[in-house]
Amino acid sequence: MNIVILAAGQGKRMHSALPKVLHTLAGKPLLRHVIDAAQALQPTRICIVRGHGGEAVRAAMSELGLTWVVQEQQLGTGHAVLQALPYLDPTRATLILYGDVPLTRAATLQRLREVFVAENSALALLTAQLAQPQGYGRIVRDHAGHVQRIVEEKDATDAERQITEINTGILLADTAALLRWLPTLSNQNVQGEYYLTDIVALAVRDGLQISSTQPQDAWETEGVNSPAQLAALERIHQRNLAAALLDQGVRLCDPARIDVRGELICGQDVAIDANCLFEGRVELADGVEIGPNCVLKDVKVGAGTRIAAFSHLESATIGQQAVIGPYARLRPGTVLGDEVHIGNFVEVKNSSIASQSKANHLAYVGDATVGQRVNIGAGTITCNYDGANKHRTVIEDDVFIGSDTQLVAPVTIHKGATLGAGTTLTKDAAADTLTVSRARQVAVTGWKRPVKPNKASKPESS
């Protein structure tokens, strides 16, 4: 099978500098959704018709092994398919898809292929019954129910506008027939366009079989023309993804308040609280709990780990039985072992922290290698950046770092060392030793705290 995806439309109603088909749904360009559905059908070739100025579209999908055709002027859907014809295998049928219709199930397209083959058709149409068919081409059938033609809304009579069976636009056609039909299309219609839909009447004229089938759900064939339609389809898609997660046994506190922009893979007994966003590929092992308002992008979380509210995690790997957050920030390159605790307002970047280590409050751990059972006190900062280069901090097993400590990298704190609170560490700390750098405390006896003059006599306004 050949597949042609029409994507030459400018999408003026998006009011955007970005080509319409590059706008994202669930974090993926609209056109990419269509390409993925197309690839699921294992076609011999996918040919994309892009418009003038659509180089950005091509650049965004360059690695996918697609055939790109430019339609310089948008003279209609029939003209668009005509541009692709020279690139198609004439011995195989051609499926027409639309770059701005992102949610068609591959199974629906497969069914269209099955009726096409089973009924030995020259043409198979995907149609739909709509209570409000306004704006769509209508399927005109004879008394026996045979499709006669498609009439566009703008060309339709009042009686034809009463028809509720619409053309979704998606169709499968015999390619040899397309080669005969498309060059003969006329643009003598209200819109002055070459309508692909006119091939239906040509098939009838040629006495060929036309079959049709319908999608399971109306949203499968809804297109995106405006930000409002994009947002509406996004909600439908998210609702579907949430339903699938619930079916697998994932506990969502509210299926309307989760967003998955990528792949979310969950083990058994995973619970996700409200307003979480998952991007890229996220893996949550058995028993993971995600608190409310968390963002996880490209993250792997080990079994039994709890991510508390308002945590932001990106490109991180977390072991089992860890406790992260609330208000934790894990930046790219973070690798945490089992039972690690990362508390509020702790930022970790490009660092590994081995099992049972803790940084529970207010710390920055960047470019560090941290051993097991390390305690990183509140206010500990790795000074990893000298304004030009990044340097590493190495903290070996069983180290205890007191509060408000600066570790000026490159520096190593050897096994079992203790750093006193307030230390600014500029040289390596020896194993099993207390290292402290701070001015000695003094007690000044007889010192009096200053008092404001006339404090009692004159009330001040501040």
Shorter beta-carbon distance to ligand UD1: residue 78 or 304:
78
Q: Which stretch binds ligand UD1 (CB under 6 A): 141-149, 166-174, 297-305, 358-366?
A: 166-174
Q: Residue 197 Cβ, how far from ligand UD1 at the closest point, in Å?
A: 4
Residue 77 makes contact with ligand UD1 by CB under 6 A: yes
Bridge partners, 272 (sequence order): 252, 290
Indicate whether 152 belongs to the interface with ligand UD1 (CB under 6 A).
Answer: yes
Tell me the sheet residues that pair with 453: none
Q: What residues pair up with 94 in beta bridges, in sequence order?
A: 2, 173
* Contacting residue, 137, 215, 291, 302, with ligand UD1 by CB under 6 A: 137
Position 9 contacts ligand UD1 (CB under 6 A): yes
- Among positions 1, 8, 47, 288, the unique one binding ligand UD1 when judged by CB under 6 A: 8
Tokens 């498609």 correspond to 150
Distances (CA, A) of 267 to 115, 288, 300: 38, 8, 12
Q: Which of residues 389-418 bind ligand UD1 (CB under 6 A)?
A: none
- Does position 219 interact with ligand UD1 (CB under 6 A)? The reply is no
Cβ nearer to ligand UD1, comparing 8 with 316? 8
| 197 binds ligand UD1 per the rule CB under 6 A | yes
Of the ranges 75-83, 121-129, 392-400, 404-412, which one interacts with ligand UD1 (CB under 6 A)?
A: 75-83
CB 289 within 8 A of CB 251: no
Question: Which residue from 134, 115, 138 is spatially nearest to 200, judged by alpha carbons?
Answer: 138
Choose which of 14, 49, 123, 429 interacts with ligand UD1 (CB under 6 A): 49
Taking CB under 6 A as the criterion, the residue among 167, 334, 393, 412 binding ligand UD1 is 167
Of 15, 146, 237, 361, which is the active-site residue? 361
Residue 104 CB partners (closer than 8 Å, separation 6+): 34, 37, 97, 170, 215, 220, 221
Q: Which residues 6+ apart lie within 8 Å of 229 measured at CB?
A: 222, 223
Question: Helices (H), strands (E): how many in the chain?
Answer: 8, 35
Q: What are phi and psi of 10, to 5 degrees?
A: -80, -30
**Residue in 223, 304, 319, 325 binding ligand UD1, rule: CB under 6 A:** 223
166 scored as a contact of ligand UD1 (CB under 6 A): yes
The closest alpha carbon to 420, from 407, 432, 438, belongs to 438
Q: Does 165 bind ligand UD1 (CB under 6 A)?
A: no
Verify binding: residue 74, ligand UD1, rule CB under 6 A. Answer: yes
Residue 136 binding ligand UD1, by CB under 6 A: yes
- Decide whether 75 or 421 has the Cβ nearer to ligand UD1: 75
Q: Is 361 a catalytic residue?
A: yes
> Which CB sits closer to ligand UD1, 37 or 336?
37
Selected from 26, 196, 203, 252, the binder of ligand UD1 by CB under 6 A is: 196
How far apart CA 227 and CA 15 sit, in angstroms, is 8
* Residue 8 or 35 having the CB closest to ligand UD1: 8
**DSSP per residue over 366-393, as a string?**
ESEEE-TT-EE-TT-EEE-B-SS-B--E
Which residue in the set 33, 45, 79, 349 belongs to the binding site for ligand UD1 (CB under 6 A)? 79
Where does this chain touch ligand UD1 (CB under 6 A) — which range of 56-64, 74-82, 248-256, 289-297? 74-82
| Cβ nearer to ligand UD1, comparing 80 with 368 | 80
For residue 94 the two structure tokens come to 């051609």
| DSSP-assigned states of every residue in 283-296 | EE-TT-EE-TT-EE
Region near ligand UD1 per CB under 6 A, out of 160-168, 304-312, 315-323, 440-448: 160-168
The closest alpha carbon to 225, from 216, 233, 215, belongs to 233
Cβ 191 vs Cβ 71: under 8 Å: no
By beta-carbon proximity to ligand UD1, the closer residue of 51 and 304 is 51
The verdict on 80 binding ligand UD1 (CB under 6 A) reads: yes
Q: Would you count residue 99 as binding ligand UD1 (CB under 6 A)?
A: yes
**Beta strand ranges found along 253-336 (DSSP E):** 258-266, 271-272, 276-284, 289-290, 295-301, 306-307, 312-318, 323-324, 328-330, 334-336
Q: Distance of CA 344 to CAs 179, 295, 355, Å?
A: 66, 15, 19
Please report whether residue 229 would count as binding ligand UD1 according to CB under 6 A. no
Contact 105, 224 (CB under 8 A): no
For ligand UD1, the binding residues (CB under 6 A) are 6-9, 49, 71, 74-77, 79-80, 98-100, 136-137, 150, 152, 166-169, 195-197, 223
Active site residues: 361
